[in-house]
Amino acid sequence: MENVFYGSGKIMKQFKSTSKMSEIKLRRFDTLDYLIFTTMLVLSALTGLYFARGGQKTISSYLFGDKKLSLLPVSFSLVTTFVSGTFLLGVPTEIYLNGIQFIYSTFLSFFAIIFMVYLIIPVLYNLQLISLFEYMELRFNRAVRLILSFVYILQGMMNIPIVIYGPTLALNQVTGLNMQIIPPLVCLVCILYTTIGGLKAVVWTDTLQAIVILASVISVIILGLQRVGGVSQMIQIGLKGDRIEWLDMTLDPKIRITFWSLLFGSNFLTLSQYGTNPAAFQRYLSMPDLKKAQRSVFFLYFGMSFSLFLTAIIGLILYAAYRGCDPVSTKEIKRADQLFPFFVMEISENLKGVPGLFLAGIVGAALSTMSTTINTITGTIYKDFLEPFVFPKTNDAKASLIMKVTAVVIGIICTSSVFIVDKLGSIFEATLILYNAIGGVITGIFLLGLFVPFANSYGALTGATLATLVMGWISVGAFSAMSQRLVKSSTKTLSTELCTNATLLVKNAKKSAVSGDAVFPLYRISIFYYSLLGCSIVIIVGIIVSLLTKKKSKKVDPAFLSPLVRNFVDFTKDNEAETVILNTQEEYKNN
């Protein structure tokens, strides 16, 4: 029997019932779903085999595709790299629980895009560095390069298990496969095409996965809108339920999302993800010239904005569907992260193949992020640690083999760490903490080098070390508080009052964050301030220490500074900047 309830002055059908819920919980993939899902995995693997035909025997071909990649596939690859399975599962859940405030970050972050395209990328692109962190050695010294590389590798190795865990939850829910079996199966495909095919395989597989992701998301939106009564009804319900609202202007740093937290958080996070991230910059360097590299950034920005818009619509659809009968409260799903796949299985009850397409999109997004991260971490480990200290004189063929073995090892380590994520609470929240905390440190060191001419290696090393320790301490403390349920993000009203079999009623109950004295204040600040805090520590400490050790500074070359500050610096080294650029370009050609 269907429930009837009133929303925004119109009678709407609540399409959940006790009997239907039970059927949905038992429903699994059918033959067509498995066929669609398996086809995506097979095509991904075949892409790696196809691009392995040329051998990928040089560092240049493995990491940059010989700089022969075109703008469109690189742009698709950039977007799918950051549209992870965590993003597709997490953003709709974020909207369902907290409203649409998060999506305003895409408008606020445009300042960072302009800043990055014209003041950061020209410097780093013109140097043509094999490893992005090589800039740190040229600008400061090797110690700064190594600590930054270590921080990035740590971030990537921690992020991959989170990326894998989201699709693992979804696959377990719709297929019934054991949680222990799914990660190795998915990772095997990723490791295969990443290891064999290099960046070309990653980029073209990303393009394939972008198409699958888009098709799956649009299919769910169309079916979801039909089920909740259309766009206008979705908007009315969202307004009435306080899910569609303007940004909170409160200055309290403990409030998770406000105008100020998003203003600072979105811009610094954008800089760290798109501007000083080796995974993104690897694609910029695969472009044949600077203008195309800059264009790819704008493609990335608009692609991410469009993706955020689509996932926000899904979040509003989820709220319209479940606002009177929250599946998490009724224990039909274990975690809020499973809400999206739960909804897909419900709306596609009579449409075979839709769940298969949906899961293909979720897993494809995870594969894209994982493959990119593995490929970039591999290059960073080889160029910054293995080549200088373990294999100083290695030919290209052997270097390529070493990187492939390294990629396999990274994949195995990350796959075995997946189930630690289960203790971290929301995977979306965990991802935001990780990116904001570590990304802010990395961005701070680059900004210090690019925009502070008198900054020296002492300042950079001290600032980077202190910021890494502080942000690591805060992040671990926040994760620990979350896992012990001492800190819990506030959510808007959720209810089970319209469920036919609900024994647990949450009538207009607003879940709020625990803020007792037992939790250290820094563990309770909004995660969107993490990137600002980490970046600020690096820059402030870096400037102070550099001024105190000014006599030990070396003169900076104009090639290492942003165009914005070059006109204000007196350079005395004759043509040294040009020599550096020529040398790094020659190294690239040789590789």
Closest CA to 209 of 345, 88, 74, 43: 43
Query: Under the phi-then-psi rule, with left for phi > 0, alpha for psi from -120 to 50, and beta for the rest, what region is 198?
Result: left
**What pLDDT score does 110 carry?**
92
pLDDT tens, residue order, the chain (591 aa): 333 333 333 334 444 433 344 344 445 678 888 888 888 778 877 776 676 565 555 555 555 545 566 677 777 777 877 777 778 888 999 999 988 998 999 899 999 999 999 999 999 889 888 778 889 999 999 999 998 899 889 888 888 888 888 778 777 777 777 777 777 877 777 777 666 666 666 677 777 778 888 888 898 899 999 989 999 999 999 999 888 888 888 888 888 888 999 998 889 989 988 888 887 887 788 788 899 889 989 988 998 899 999 999 999 999 999 988 888 888 888 788 888 888 888 887 777 788 888 888 887 777 777 877 887 888 888 888 988 888 877 777 788 788 888 888 888 888 777 777 766 667 777 778 888 888 899 999 999 999 999 999 999 999 999 999 999 899 888 877 776 766 665 667 777 777 765 444 444 444 444 444 567 788 888 889 999 999 999 999 999 999 999 877 778 888 899 988 887 776 654 444 444 554 555 554 454
Phi, psi for residue 17 in degrees, rounded to 5: -145, 165
Give the Cβ contact number of residue 22 at 10 Å: 12
- Per-residue CA distances from 233 to 2, 4, 33, 320, 411 (Å): 19, 15, 31, 8, 45
**What pLDDT score does 452 carry?**
93
Place of tokens 């597709």: 88
Closest CA to 216 of 366, 47, 383, 386: 366
Q: What is the pLDDT of residues 422-437, one digit of tens each?
A: 666 677 777 788 888 8
Cβ atoms 93, 315 nearer than 8 A: yes
**Which residues, including other chains, have CB under 8 Å from residue 321's CB and lie 6 or more apart?**
15, 16, 224, 227, 228, 343
Q: What distance in Å separates the CA atoms of residue 318 and residue 347, rounded to the nearest whole number? A: 11
Closest CA to 406 of 385, 382, 383, 387: 382
**Which residues, including other chains, have CB under 8 Å from residue 173's CB and lie 6 or more apart?**
333, 338, 341, 342, 345
**What pLDDT score does 578 carry?**
46
Cβ atoms 489, 429 nearer than 8 A: yes
3 state DSSP class of 571: coil
Which residue intervals of 349-426 are DSSP H helices?
A: 354-381, 387-389, 396-416
Closest CA to 371 of 497, 174, 188, 133: 188
Q: What distance in Å separates the CA atoms of residue 320 and residue 422, rounded to the nearest whole number? A: 28
Structure tokens at 296: 């790819």
3 state DSSP class of 311: helix
Place of tokens 């992005």: 132
User: Any idea what the Cα angle at residue 542 is, between residues 537 and 435, rounded to 5°?
Assistant: 40
Phi, psi for residue 141 in degrees, rounded to 5: -160, 180
**What pLDDT score does 20 carry?**
43
User: What does R_g of the chain's alpha carbons equal in angstroms?
Assistant: 24
Closest CA to 52 of 193, 209, 218, 206: 193
Q: Which amino acid is at 67?
A: K
3 state DSSP class of 555: coil
- Per-residue CA distances from 398 to 64, 65, 236, 391, 401 (Å): 17, 18, 62, 10, 5
Give the Cβ contact number of residue 508 at 10 Å: 9
First to last CA, the chain: 68
**What pLDDT score does 570 carry?**
64
Q: What is the pLDDT of residues 267-291, one digit of tens each?
A: 998 998 888 888 788 778 878 889 9
**Which residues, including other chains, have CB under 8 Å from residue 176's CB and lie 6 or more apart?**
28
**What pLDDT score does 25 carry?**
45
Closest CA to 154 of 432, 437, 479, 405: 437
Q: What distance in Å separates the CA atoms of residue 188 and residue 319, rounded to the nearest whole number? A: 36
Q: What distance in Å separates the CA atoms of residue 180 and residue 168, rounded to the nearest whole number? A: 9
**What pLDDT score does 499 carry?**
78
